[in-house]
Amino acid sequence: MATAILYDSTRCTACRACQVACKQWNELEVEETTNRGTYENPPDLSANTRMKIKFTEVPKNVGIDWLFTRRACMHCTDASCVKVCPSGALFYDGRDGFVAYDRDLCTGCGYCVEFCPFDVPRTERNVITGLSTMNKCTFCTTPGLNRIEAGEKPACVTTCPTGALLYDDRDKLVAIGKQRVQTLKTAGSNNANLFGETELNGLHVLYVLEDSPDAYGLPVDPKVPGVAIAWKDVIQPLGWIMGGVTIVGLGLNYLVARQAKIRKEQTVKKEE
């Protein structure tokens, strides 16, 4: 059964309880926040902030209004990060379909950061070892902290006080999302839409939006970059082939050199 999260931006009050719950459950370090002239904090995602609520100011006839957006991994069915990950650290969960992550396998190459159409993954470098690793939302399935395996909802969903976040079977949430969009359109929000139903073959985080995706800072038509496709289907296999050829070549070179050395030693002995 494929599961998903439905985020209804019209029901979100930006209380950010979901941000706190995410950090608390996943044992992520707190970050220093500053007054930057906005209620939005921290300023961006990081290796220790897997999700945040983004505030987008929209001018009105009198004053401004806010559009709230949940910024976190979208768990794409056709995920660029999975395609380009060389170590298998990023992979699809076989039961629920979201993009799972094994941090122990991460090499810190940063390809997932470069190719994500939603600009979500973030890396951090260990100041002692100099090694980098990536971090992102794991759907609360980190080993030892796996809420889904225990029959619980993700921490962000559990703590949401307004019902802006729901967790359930994906098909069921698509139906709920479409119903809410229709209600918004009936009320006069002609641009209301359900984002994520078909994008990238379906996202496992669906958005009910009152306006077009670009108004919220989301890509209108997200795609897997052509370079990412080439990387998985051409460059990576070619790299393995070239690596194998190199190893074979070195092995043959060693054998040829060894045989030449043996022949030389035999010739010297005969001359003696």
The sign of the CA dihedral 158, 198, 215, 190 is negative
Give Cβ neighbours of residue 262 (< 8 Å, ≥ 6 apart).
none
The reply to whether omega before 86 is within 30° of 0 (cis) is: no
By the 8 A CB rule, do 216 and 12 touch?
no
Cβ neighbours around 202 below 10 Å, total: 18
Looking at the structure, tell me whether residues 164 and 42 fall in a common domain. Answer: yes
C-alpha to C-alpha distance for 174 and 153, rounded to whole angstroms? 18
Looking at the structure, tell me whether residues 188 and 259 fall in a common domain. Answer: no
Looking at the structure, tell me whether residues 69 and 154 fall in a common domain. Answer: yes
Q: What is the pLDDT of residues 132-175, one digit of tens each?
A: 899 999 999 998 999 999 999 999 999 999 999 999 999 999 99
Looking at the structure, tell me whether residues 258 and 270 fall in a common domain. Answer: yes
CATH code at position 91 = 3.30.70.20
**Residue with token string 């994906």:** 170
Q: Which residues span the domain enclosing 95?
A: 1-224
Total number of domains in the chain: 2
Residue 143 φ/ψ, nearest 5 degrees: -50, 130
Reply yes or no on whether the pLDDT at 199 is more than 50.
yes
Looking at the structure, tell me whether residues 49 and 92 fall in a common domain. Answer: yes
Looking at the structure, tell me whether residues 90 and 127 fall in a common domain. Answer: yes
- How far the first Cα of the chain sits from its last, in Å, is 80
Looking at the structure, tell me whether residues 245 and 210 fall in a common domain. Answer: no
Q: What is the pLDDT of residues 56-105, one digit of tens each?
A: 988 888 888 899 999 999 999 999 999 999 999 999 998 899 999 999 99
Q: What is the pLDDT of residues 20-44, one digit of tens each?
A: 999 999 999 988 888 888 888 898 9
By the 8 A CB rule, do 133 and 123 touch?
yes
Q: From 224, 240, 263, give the residue that closes a domain.
A: 224
Q: How far is CA 38 from the centre of its chain?
A: 26
Looking at the structure, tell me whether residues 96 and 201 fall in a common domain. Answer: yes
Looking at the structure, tell me whether residues 189 and 89 fall in a common domain. Answer: yes
Lowest mean pLDDT among 56-70, 201-215, 233-247: 233-247
Q: From 186, 202, 224, give the residue that closes a domain.
A: 224
- pTM (2 d.p.): 0.82
